[in-house]
Amino acid sequence: MCELLRRSLLKKVALGGMVVAVPSLSIFDQVQAAAFNKPVDINNLSDIEKIHLPKVTLPPVVEDGNQAPIIVEVDHPMEDDHYIKSIQILNFNDPVVIKGQCFFTPKSGEAFISTQIRLAGG
């Protein structure tokens, strides 16, 4: 009898955990969008969003996943009190997510990165 109660309790706890996990996924998406300063509507950007939106240039097809040229630039004024402080290149499909990070100061003049990254996993 005790065994039966234990199993039913475990089933209810597991089911309850799944019910709690579903709403947290939508919260995670909202937090991730806010953390990465994702614009709400890409077709209707405000002036402040336009100067903070990075322009990423990648080739449409990469034959060798070990070398992919990438250019990231942000058309933003680099003033002493307001400038782009850093740009990170991330690949969420790779075990090593951060592919590169560059830091800038107002003396950098512009926020621009040109490099080659590994797109193949591993």
Task: Give 89-111 pLDDT, tens digit per residue.
Answer: 888 878 888 888 999 999 999 99
Residues 5 and 27 in one domain: yes
24 and 57 both lie in a single domain: no
Please report whether residue 122 resides in a domain. no
Does a structural domain hold residue 92? Answer: yes
For residues 14 and 74, membership in a common domain is answered with: no
Contact by Cβ (8 Å): 114, 100? no
The residue segments making up the domain with residue 94 are: 47-117
Same domain (yes/no): 29, 73: no
Which has more pLDDT, 28 or 56?
A: 56
* Strand ranges (E), 19-90: 55-57, 68-74, 86-90
> Is there a single domain that holds both residue 60 and residue 102?
yes
With cut-offs at 50, 70 and 90, classify the pLDDT of residue 19.
Answer: very low
Q: Which residues pair with 102 in a beta bridge?
A: 87
Do 86 and 53 lie in a common domain?
yes
pLDDT band at 45 (very low <50, low <70, confident <90, very high): confident
Domains contained in the chain, number: 2
64 and 106 share one domain: yes
